[in-house]
Amino acid sequence: MFDVNAIRSQFPILEEKVHGKPLVYLDNAATTQKPLSVIERIDTFYKKTNANIHRGAHHLANVSTEYFEDTRALTRAFVNARETTEIIFTSGTTDSINLVAQTWGRQNIGKGDEILLSMLEHHSNIVPWQLLAAEKGAIIKVIPIHENGTWQVDSLDTLISERTKLVAVNQVSNALGTINPIELLIAKAHAAGAKVLIDGAQSVTHMPIDVQALDCDFFCFSAHKLYGPTGVGVLYGKRELLEAMPPWRGGGEMIKSVSFEKTTYNELPHKFEAGTPHIAGVIGFGAALEFVQSLAWSDVDAHKKEILNHATSELLNIDGLRIFGNTATKAPVISFNVGNLHPFDIGTLLDQQGVAVRTGHHCTEPLWNYYQVPGTVRASFAIYNTQEEIQTFVTALKKAITLLS
The catalytic residue positions are 363
What are the φ and ψ backbone dihedral angles of 88, each rounded to 5 degrees? -110, 130
State the sign of the Cα–Cα–Cα–Cα dihedral 237, 32, 78, 284: positive
Spatial strand order in the sheet of 376-380: 321-324, 333-338, 376-380, 358-360
- How many whole angstroms separate alpha carbon 394 and alpha carbon 92? 33
DSSP class of residue 227 equals T
Q: What is the crossing angle of helices 36-44 and 279-293, to 10°?
A: 150
Exposed/middle/buried for residue 175 (C-beta within 10 Å: 0-12, 13-18, 19+): buried
DSSP helix/strand/coil, 291: helix
Whether 97 and 125 have beta carbons less than 8 Å apart is answered as: yes
- How many whole angstroms separate alpha carbon 73 and alpha carbon 81? 10
